[in-house]
Structure 1
Amino acid sequence: MTQTQDDTLSVVVERTIAHPPEKIWRALTEPHLIEEWLMKGDFRPAIGHRFGFRADWGAVDCEVLDIEPPHLLAYSWGDHDLKSIVTWTLTPTGSGTQLRLEQTGFRRDQPRYFGGANAGWPRFLDKLEEVVARLS
């Protein structure tokens, strides 16, 4: 957890993955792979593309804000109350990739959203790693 200048909270998860950025990028941007580790959605890697993710617990509305294949992907993530930004950064290392996920914009009066992201993202990244390991 970090606190930003505008007094919102952020969730940051970092880990080293023993695969190149290009392989992880596929899992972050190909809809059939995203569905395996995150949720069903209609993602397309194009700035301005509006899309949604759906799961049993609900749905989120998103828009691609920034994209620099295969190193940076940012999109809005929210609903009627939450307005946040998810940023993925992939940095090559000698043994694979340093992956950094940051979700910013949680207001202090949103402990349910913040707690859900804090608990959920590490589990989603575990699944992401499994998907990436299966890719050829």
Structure 2
Amino acid sequence: MKTYDARLVADDPHWTLIFVRELDHPPEQVWSALTEPGELDQWAPFATEEPLTAPGRTTLTMVDGDERTDLPATVTRVVRPSLLEYSWGDDVLRWELEPSGHGTRLTLRHTLAQSGMAAMVAAGWHLCTDVLSRLLDGNPVGVIRGRDAMDHGWAELRSAYASVIG
């Protein structure tokens, strides 16, 4: 099973998962998918009712089948179309977009509040960015999140990432 560039770095007192993915679409198109509620709901592990395009408080809703859990979030940095940073519960997500060939190098720096979660988180983002890539290609496959991920190779991905990032 193919894994993407991922590594774990100490960010005292937390750990930051750095996950890199090459996408065949320009930064502006990827930016829209990262910030617009209608697009996020098609690929991300959460839903939101407000665009993530301006600093301020918001709510990101974890979705797992019929279960929905609201988590507080604060958008802290927005530099369109190259940088988006926000809290998600106790975690911090920093999305960096840079032109790469005819597409975008997407780098996610996910600072984890809980140690020992990196391989699970990497597997989840792997599936999410696979869905994102298909969405951007115009060939959406539907969101894969929560328990549904188990039916799409999440356990195997978790094991593969555990061997890569420890």
TM-score tier after normalising by the smaller chain length: 0.7 to 0.9
Runs (4+) off by over 4 Å: none
Equivalent residue, structure 1, for 2:26: 20
Q: Give unmatched runs, 5+ long, in structure 1.
A: none
- 1:47 maps to what in 2? 55
* Distance of 2:106 and 2:119 partners within structure 1: 21
- Name the structure 1 match of 2:88: 77
- 2:9 and 2:101 map into 1 onto residues whose CA distance is 31
Q: In structure 1, which of residues 127, 132, 136 is the aligned counterpart of residue 131 of structure 2?
A: 127
Alignment equivalent of 2:15, drawn from 2, 9, 19: 9
CA distance in 2, matches of 1:93, 1:61: 33
Q: 1:5 to 1:31 in 2, by over 3 A?
A: closer
Partner of 1:90: 97
SS at match of 2:50: coil
Q: How far did residue 115 of structure 1 move?
A: 4.1
Residues 11-52 of structure 1: per-residue CA shift (max 9 Å, x gap): 221011111000101111110110000132223211013222
- SS, match of residue 130 in structure 1: helix
Cα distance in structure 1, aligned partners of 2:93 and 2:26: 21
- Taking structure 1 as reference, are residues 5 and 52 closer, same or farther at Cα in structure 2, changes over 3 Å only? closer
TM-score of the pair, normalised by structure 1: 0.83
Give the letter for the 1:93 counterpart. Answer: S
Computed over aligned residues only, the root mean square deviation of the Cα atoms, in angstroms, reads 1.9
Please report how far the alpha carbon of residue 124 of structure 1 lies from its aligned counterpart in structure 2 after TM superposition. 0.6
**Which is further off, 51-60 or 64-73?**
51-60
Q: Distance in 2 between matches of 1:73 and 1:99?
A: 11
Residue segments in structure 2 that go unaligned for 5+ positions in a row: 1-6, 140-166
After alignment, is 119-128 or 52-61 more displaced?
52-61
Q: Is the 8 A contact 2:25 2:102 kept in 1?
A: yes
What fraction of aligned residue pairs are identical, expressed as a percent?
30
The structure-2 alpha-carbon separation of the partners of 1:5 and 1:102, relative to structure 1 and needing over 3 Å to count, comes to closer
Offset from partner CA, 1:62-119 (integer Å, 9 cap, x none) = 11110001110011011xxxx11001100012221111011013343xx3x4443122
Aligned length: 128
Taking structure 2 as the reference length, what is the TM-score of the superposition?
Answer: 0.69
How far has the Cα of 1:58 moved from its partner? 5.0
**Quick one: which amino acid aligns to residue 127 of structure 1?**
V
Q: 1:14, 1:114 → 2: CA distance?
A: 14
